[in-house]
Amino acid sequence: MPRKARTEPGVPGFSLLAALLAGPAHGYELVARLERLGASEVFPLEPPTLYGHLHSLAESGMVTWREERHGSRPPRKVFELTRSGQEAAEAWLAAPVPRLRQVRQELLLKLALLEVLDRPADRRGLIERQVEVCRLYLSGLADQPAETPVGRLNRGARASAAEATIAWLESLLAPSEVPA
């Protein structure tokens, strides 16, 4: 069965777009930018995979590339955001994650990227929006009936995880963590 073409870049693709907000770069430089963030703790991004993502982003019109030559070295492709790539990166960075389990991956990357891009107000805004999403999730749990022992335990575990996530996010809003 043929694979369905992706319409969204996914977390690795969006991370590459956001890394390009810092300026044009060749593939290995992009890997280095993401590695400095610790992105490998969330997803592996080896050069062959990286170039696959960059190729898809170029096909979708989110990045362009040009060849650069340095002496006798092989030419390198330098990637740069297009307007649609910049808009996609900005929208991704601003959006809270919809599921609690994505906090440990996608949200961490967004917060780290916003920190490296020196955008404390955007980082603070994302945290505040994420707290609101978590509160809505928590209130939705309270509205769900839990008539079985497993259901009650499951709801309690999910509520506890949401409460802990909210507390952690609120701790990031302390002045020492996120300057105003």
Residue 112 and residue 178 in one domain = yes
Residue 87 and residue 31 in one domain = yes
Q: Note the pLDDT of residue 50.
A: 87
Q: Note the pLDDT of residue 177.
A: 52
Q: Note the pLDDT of residue 175.
A: 76
Residue 102 and residue 89 in one domain = no
| Alpha helices, H only, the chain | 10-19, 27-37, 47-59, 83-94, 106-116, 120-143, 149-172
Q: Note the pLDDT of residue 37.
A: 86
Residue 108 and residue 84 in one domain = no
Residue 63 and residue 31 in one domain = yes
Domain ranges, residue 83: 1-94
- For the chain, the farthest-separated pair of C-alpha atoms sits apart, in whole angstroms, at 71
Residue 116 and residue 86 in one domain = no
Q: Note the pLDDT of residue 176.
A: 66
What single-letter DSSP state applies at residue 176? T
Mark the ranges of the chain whose per-residue pLDDT is less than 70: 1-7, 176-180
Residue 38 and residue 116 in one domain = no
What single-letter DSSP state applies at residue 99? S
- Which helix (H) or strand (E) is 76 found in, with range? strand 76-81
Question: In 9-48, which positions are buried (b, 16+ CB within 10 angstroms) versus exposed (e)?
Answer: bebbbbbbbbbbbeebbbbebbbebbeebebeebeebeee
Q: Note the pLDDT of residue 44.
A: 80
Q: Note the pLDDT of residue 143.
A: 85
In whole angstroms, what is the distance from residue 21 CA to residue 86 CA?
7
What single-letter DSSP state applies at residue 100? G
